[in-house]
Structure 1
Amino acid sequence: MPTRPLFCSAEEVATLLRMDEAIASQRRAFTALAHGTADLPPKVMHPSRFDDSVMFCYVSRLSADTGAVAKFGSVHPANRAHGLPSVNAVVVVLDPVTGAVVAVLDGTALTTLRTAAASAVAVDALALPGADELGLLGSGTQALAHARAVARVRPLRAVRVWSPTEKHRVLAAERIADELGVRADAVDSAQEAVNGVPVVATCTLSREPVLRGRWLSPGATVVGVGSFEPDRHEVDAQALRRAAAVVVDDPQTAAAHAGPVVAAIGGGDLVPGDLVPLGQVLTGQRTARSGEQDIVLYFSVGLGLQDAAAAWAVVDAARAADERAAAVDGRPAAAR
């Protein structure tokens, strides 16, 4: 008899997928990608002709014992002005044997968690061990998630937050300080947020650079998640020229979608072979940082495989919770 699919709201996704588990899921995704053991068809990113939104669709499969996962949604930059998430999506999880629907998950919460968790994986692999301060460019949902995620892999003592609207950056700093118990300052310029900081995260949807390479200190690690289209450039060309390594989630995808990478390849500053896959750093196949003075950049445009790993982590957590509840109640566990 077919079983009832699992339906998870944003709140339920966040409850089931804790940050440490989200980080672990992203390690699995990038390791599988490095070993060539996953299915990852090209993603669809289509700018709408009607407004500045972007439609997207990702599909992938992490392993033989986890079924296909698809995510459909859109990016609406104007939502920021209304205090709403810029990304909205739904994720569908299929059974690995029958292809039946196993789960339908809120894709906005899942995307926020897996993106920040992947950046934490990158920071853990690329940043200096003693890096204890974070500079955030951006003050929205993704910036807050990055503060939480980076705090799980580095002993943060301070965070600097900048975004164009003073009210937003002040509120973000207050929330980070309250949640993480660290000093968090809203600063007046992007340069002030970056100067002397060992880890920088750019979490904006800017089409113009908000981070200038000349501001970066030796040894800095930068993670950028907002340049997911060729015409979005959170980071300027000088930052890429100063970098000892440009690490990406997937070279082929980054070369087609990541704005600063597309520009650097088009301008002759990079060739596709220069791009270092994060998964190959995790597995020891490639290196990125060779010394403490190196500046290292990581760009993520998002992969369906990240969604697949995170979605199955949610499904597994839901099943485990159901089994625990059944054991307490003395009833059969629901087949989810």
Structure 2
Amino acid sequence: MTLLIRNDEATSLMTVEEAKPVMREVLTDQAYGRATNFPRYRMPIPTGFLQWGPARWDAQGVMGYKVWANTGSPLEGVWIHLHSLTGAEPLAIIDGHHISRCRTGAYSAVAAEVLLSGRESRPRRLGIYGTGRQATAQVEALSGVIDIARVRCYGRDAERRNRFVTDVTERLGLACEAVDRPRDVAAGADVIVTATSSKEPVLLGEWLDEPELIVAMGANKRYERELDAAVVRRMDTIVVGDLTEASSNCGDLIQGIDGGWLTWSQVSELHPLLRSGRGDPAPAPVLFESLGVSVTDVAVAHATYEKARRAGVGTDVTHFAGLPEVVAHG
């Protein structure tokens, strides 16, 4: 049976908090060769791009891909197709908007948990650039793995900033304030997240005090940069989800490669750090470039599908999804 799972159904089935153990499980499996990520392909079109990203999770017997037809709005045209490793019929076709939000937040949370492991347990001050749906998911996810003393945010739209503060304060129960100057987000911050759609740097190295961790997750094209060169130069440890993906699309790091002051040998991948007995914490400050990797989309989609199947949620579209049947009837 092939299930069609719409976004409102996926929203009822999966939360950011529920996505975190799924994320840890698939990244651990990837570290031990039980899951495989493959590079995403992005085809340019006059109004945007079509992106396709496949992966397989052998430990769960599934494979799949996310296809994203972006024609100007990031809120349209995202679907995840899930298949069994042993059968041709699709298991599910899932609207990927909510799943992508959960996946992105959970990915940052697991990265923070791993990269801050072994350090002093204390309240940390969080600064975040961006006040959209991904920014709220970041704070929600990080609050489950970090004791957050306060949140300080900046976004260009004052009204959205205020809505963000209300949401974080009332829904998550965290102290949150909006600032009028972007440099004030970085001042005194222990953890900084950039979750914007900006093509130019929103965080400058001259603003940093002594951050332990920076999570950059908004820029995912080679010509986009959320961080200036001074930020990257300050980092003692740089971690990405996938080196192949980063070498194609991580503008924050490509600026250093092109400038000759950074090499890919200085950059590590996240999933090997989830192996047991990995030793001492990484030297701080740490930069995690969260471009997103396909194996994490497949993992959260699979967990959502399993919940839908057990709960009887979704629409059976087996007749329409069965390609051999369609071909046989012309």
| Superposition TM-score tier, normalisation by shorter sequence | 0.7 to 0.9
Correspondence for 1:312 = 302
Contact map agreement 1:131 1:198 (CA 8 A) in 2? no
- Counterpart amino acid of residue 122 in structure 2: G
Q: By how many angstroms is 1:37 displaced?
A: 2.8
Unpaired runs of 5+ residues, structure 2, are 314-330
- Equivalent of 2:291 in 296, 301, 305: 301
Moved more, 109-118 or 125-134: 125-134
Q: By how many angstroms is 1:198 displaced?
A: 1.0
Rate the CA distance shift 1:265–1:172 in 2: closer, same or farther, 3 A: same
Equivalent position SS for 1:61: strand
Contact map agreement 2:64 2:81 (CA 8 A) in 1? yes
2:239 matches 1:247: yes
Correspondence for 2:9 = 12
- Counterpart amino acid of residue 151 in structure 1: S
- Counterpart amino acid of residue 219 in structure 2: S
Correspondence for 2:326 = none
Q: For residues 92 and 61 of structure 1, what CA distance do their matches in structure 2 show?
A: 12
Q: By how many angstroms is 1:157 displaced?
A: 3.2
Q: For residues 200 and 87 of structure 1, what CA distance do their matches in structure 2 show?
A: 28
Moved more, 208-217 or 137-146: 208-217
Correspondence for 1:328 = none
Correspondence for 2:114 = 125
Q: By how many angstroms is 1:138 displaced?
A: 0.4
Correspondence for 1:186 = 178
TM-score by length of 1: 0.86
Contact map agreement 2:192 2:211 (CA 8 A) in 1? no
Rate the CA distance shift 1:6–1:183 in 2: closer, same or farther, 3 A: same
Correspondence for 1:102 = 91
Contact map agreement 1:126 1:288 (CA 8 A) in 2? no
Structure with the bigger RCO (C-alpha within 8 Å, sep 6+) is 2
Correspondence for 1:157 = 149
Q: By how many angstroms is 1:54 displaced?
A: 2.9
Contact map agreement 1:67 1:99 (CA 8 A) in 2? no
1:163-196 Cα offsets, whole Å, 9 max, x none, are 1111111111111111101111111122111111
2:60 matches 1:46: no
Q: By how many angstroms is 1:55 displaced?
A: 2.0
Contact map agreement 2:229 2:256 (CA 8 A) in 1? yes
Equivalent position SS for 1:154: coil
Equivalent position SS for 1:33: helix
- Equivalent of 1:70 in 65, 68, 84: 65
Rate the CA distance shift 1:172–1:37 in 2: closer, same or farther, 3 A: same
Aligned residues: 310
- Counterpart amino acid of residue 33 in structure 1: Q
Q: By how many angstroms is 1:75 displaced?
A: 3.9
Unpaired runs of 5+ residues, structure 1, are 80-84, 324-336
Q: For residues 102 and 109 of structure 1, what CA distance do their matches in structure 2 show?
A: 19
Rate the CA distance shift 1:63–1:313 in 2: closer, same or farther, 3 A: same
1:96-128 Cα offsets, whole Å, 9 max, x none, are 321211111111111111011100111111235
2:22 matches 1:30: no
Rate the CA distance shift 1:118–1:290 in 2: closer, same or farther, 3 A: closer
Equivalent position SS for 1:135: strand
Q: For residues 202 and 75 of structure 1, what CA distance do their matches in structure 2 show?
A: 21
Equivalent position SS for 1:157: strand
Equivalent position SS for 1:204: coil
Q: For residues 86 and 130 of structure 1, what CA distance do their matches in structure 2 show?
A: 37
Contact map agreement 2:82 2:91 (CA 8 A) in 1? yes
- Counterpart amino acid of residue 238 in structure 1: A
- Counterpart amino acid of residue 144 in structure 1: T
2:192 matches 1:200: yes
Rate the CA distance shift 1:284–1:274 in 2: closer, same or farther, 3 A: farther
Equivalent position SS for 1:247: strand
TM-score by length of 2: 0.87
Rate the CA distance shift 1:25–1:65 in 2: closer, same or farther, 3 A: closer
Percent identity at matched positions? 28
RMSD: 2.1
Rate the CA distance shift 1:288–1:267 in 2: closer, same or farther, 3 A: farther
Equivalent position SS for 1:56: strand
Q: By how many angstroms is 1:86 displaced?
A: 4.7
